[in-house]
Structure 1
């Protein structure tokens, strides 16, 4: 009888241990869909472009298609390194009150091209370790495959790992959305370059 009571106490104790809070099915699907769609949109926009088209700049202070792709890959690498480092730190749910944006607001805000922003010097194409679009695309495809696989299978509590970034506080899940949306933002920029009257026909 004592053994039964002891076993019941142990089971009750385990029942009160807080479980991991992995992503919901909807959160996983939303992030994966955004990661895949933004990558596919980018690849479609740059497919078959000539060297002249890749390097065309609508103005001296605007980026070419190639420079946009290099910036996307460079920034994605940096953002994921920061996110991964945050996930490996102790959870800090007490910082959730510092988050001021919903998932939807983050995606919409990052992709909104009506507000122009200056990037930091280390993320400018001329300072990137990638020296060509092919190098940048290879990195992007590899990192995106790994990130998508991670989102599919992770049991990490992404919501309770909050990062303080120059643009505000986001949880780790929102950082993944930010990565995908940033890709989408500059794919729109590529479309603007291609729509410029001086864009080479071939």
Structure 2
């Protein structure tokens, strides 16, 4: 009888233990779709550009298409590493009430080009990949690795956090930051292509 009581008590206590913040199937699928769509949008946007078009810029203070692509290849790793660093901090479910944005709001903010953030030196393009095609190879390799992490991770991505330029975000939202950032710069590339002086070939 005592053993039966102990067993029942264990199950009762377990019911009150907060479940880990592992991703749901829907969260995984949503993130994978977002990463896939934004990566493809970038590839499509630059696919037919000539070397002259890739390197053109309207002024010295504005990035070229090539600069944007290199920046994205660099960012794909740096932002992912940032997300992973948040997972190493103690989980704190009580902070969820402090999140500033929903997942969808975070995506919208990231592609709002009226909101400008100064790029840190570590993200600055410097020609390190040698060519746009090489930068895209690196981008795609890093993107595939990041997507595999999202598909398979059991990390608690909802109860770890980071301060972002847009307010407190959880680790899952920091990962969404990667794909949203890709779309942000794809839109910047579209702006360049729409410039009146953009080369015809």
Q: TM-score, normalised by structure 2?
A: 0.88
- Separation in 2, partners of 1:171, 1:44: 30
Q: Which residue of 1 aligns with 2:68?
A: 68
Mark the runs of 5 or more structure 1 residues left unpaired by the alignment: none
Deviations 1:2-22 (A, max 9, x none): 444444344444444333232
Please say if residues 111 and 181 of structure 1, whose CA atoms lie closer than 8 Å, have aligned partners that are also in contact.
yes
Please say if residues 100 and 166 of structure 2, whose CA atoms lie closer than 8 Å, have aligned partners that are also in contact.
no
Change (3 A) 1:97 1:63: same
How many pairs are equivalent? Answer: 201
For the residue of structure 2 that corresponds to 1:125, the secondary structure is coil
Q: Which residue of 2 aligns with 1:193?
A: 192
Q: TM-score, normalised by structure 1?
A: 0.88
Please say if residues 66 and 132 of structure 2, whose CA atoms lie closer than 8 Å, have aligned partners that are also in contact.
yes
Q: Where does 1:1-202 land on structure 2 (aligned, <5 Å)?
A: 1-126=1-126, 129-202=128-201
Q: Residue 166 of structure 1: CA displacement? A: 4.6
More helix per residue: 1
Deviations 1:48-97 (A, max 9, x none): 32211110112221111110011112122211101011113221233334
Tell which deviates more after alignment, 85-94 or 183-192. 85-94
Mark the runs of 5 or more structure 2 residues left unpaired by the alignment: none
For the residue of structure 1 that corresponds to 2:158, the secondary structure is helix
Please say if residues 55 and 65 of structure 2, whose CA atoms lie closer than 8 Å, have aligned partners that are also in contact.
yes
Please say if residues 20 and 155 of structure 1, whose CA atoms lie closer than 8 Å, have aligned partners that are also in contact.
no
